[in-house]
Amino acid sequence: MPTRKLPLSAASTGFESEVSTESLRLHPPVPVNSRAALKTTALPTGGGPDRKSPILVPKGTSVAYSIYTMHRGPDIYGMDAEIFRPERWDEETPLNSNEANAKWGYLPFNSGPRICLDMDFALIEVAYTVLEGASDIPNIFLCHSLGGIIVKRALIYYAAGNGSGIAHLNSIFTSTYAVMFLGTPHKGPAKARLLGSLQKPAALAIPKRIVQFESALLHALKERSETLQNITDQFAPLMSRFRMLFWEQEKMNLKYTQEYIVEESSAAPIISNTKRCGIAANHREMG
């Protein structure tokens, strides 16, 4: 049975859906994440000399996991896991070899009760690019927060769409008139380190929906995030073509302090032939 693809929309099927799914596999918006144990528990594997025995996780312990590494693991995606190959989503892979892999082996937006709050919005933005007849429609994308990173990655690929079977995707790029980035981090601000340290002691006091919201952002906002920097560098030659950048002008209430989630220097860097504008709202409200 072919492996699962993201349910982008009824309009996004076949190869276009596979391209989006494969892009998110190799470049997940949140490459690293972590969870804290609310009570003493144990993981089924990871202990002992062979790391196959249970391992104790005391209450309060943070357990980090790398989605970026897992998505490139040959034990889940085969020996060509490092290669961008959308066709794999119509083939048998180890991803469906057992129930655990099928449920947790593909996590571009995480999963479970803390799944990314912006997932549906981001997927709708991606699906819009693959509407039938898109080459005849002037496209204007409205992207909020991490959704802008996904759209940038798609446009990078579509701009180079000259290979066999994907040349038609280049028309999506050429018909895109503008992209409006609302609070999208184009480079990691130093403030992310401060927000990360504040999040830990405040996690129990901050409303759950805000903790979920910040967890996705903080990992993408790291100053030296390789994933974010690679996408930014690849998109740089295209940026002047898409001229609208917006930043938040109001700080967000983080319980113990108020901060900008994505600072002006990251959300709206000064680029030639690009228009910049502040919005009188915090990061959540501007979307």
- Side-chain-facing half-sphere of 26: CA atoms under 13 Å: 18
Distance in angstroms (rounded) separating the CA atoms of residues 77 and 95: 6
11-15, 116-120, 141-145, 164-168: which has the minimum mean pLDDT?
A: 11-15
Q: Does position 198 have pLDDT exceeding 50, yes or no?
A: no
Model pLDDT, residue 57: 94
pTM listed for this prediction: 0.47
Q: Sorting pLDDT into bands at 50, 70 and 90, what band is 162?
A: low
The helix or strand, by DSSP H or E, that contains position 245, with its residue range, turns out to be strand 244-248
Which of 151-155, 158-162, 166-170, 269-273 is the least confident region? 166-170
Handedness of CA 103, 143, 31, 158 (dihedral sign): positive
Q: Percent of the chain, pLDDT > 90?
A: 13
The pLDDT value recorded for residue 58 is 95
Strand partners, 144: 182
* 27-74 per-position pLDDT tens digit: 888 888 888 999 999 998 888 888 889 999 999 999 988 999 999 999
Instruction: Name the residue with higher pLDDT: 207 or 128.
Output: 128
* Cβ-Cβ contacts under 8 Å for 208 (sequence gap 6 or more): none
pLDDT at residue 2, rounded to an integer? 42
Element at 71 (helix H, strand E)? helix 67-71
Question: Mean pLDDT: which of 47-61, 119-133, 246-260 is highest?
Answer: 47-61
pLDDT at 188: 61
Burial group, residue 133, by CB count within 10 angstroms (0-12, 13-18, 19+): exposed
Q: Give the residue-averaged pLDDT of 230-259.
A: 81
Domains of the chain: which residue ranges? Answer: 14-34+66-279, 35-63
- Given this model, what pLDDT does residue 225 score? 62
Question: Which residue in the block uniquely carries the two structure tokens 């990314």?
Answer: 116
Residue 239 confidence (pLDDT): 78
Round to whole Å and give the CA distance between 93 and 87: 11
pLDDT tier at 238 (50, 70, 90 boundaries)? confident
Q: What is the DSSP letter of 45?
A: E
Mean pLDDT of 138-167: 76
pLDDT at 150: 80
Q: Which of 78-82, 93-97, 156-160, 240-244 has the lowest mean pLDDT?
A: 240-244
Average pLDDT over residues 120-129: 68
State percent of the chain over pLDDT 70. 72
Kindly report the number of other CB atoms within 10 A of residue 210's CB atom. Answer: 18
Q: What angle (nearest 5°) sits at the alpha carbon of residue 28, between those of residues 174 and 60? A: 155
Helices (H), 183-280: 191-202, 208-220, 226-239, 264-267
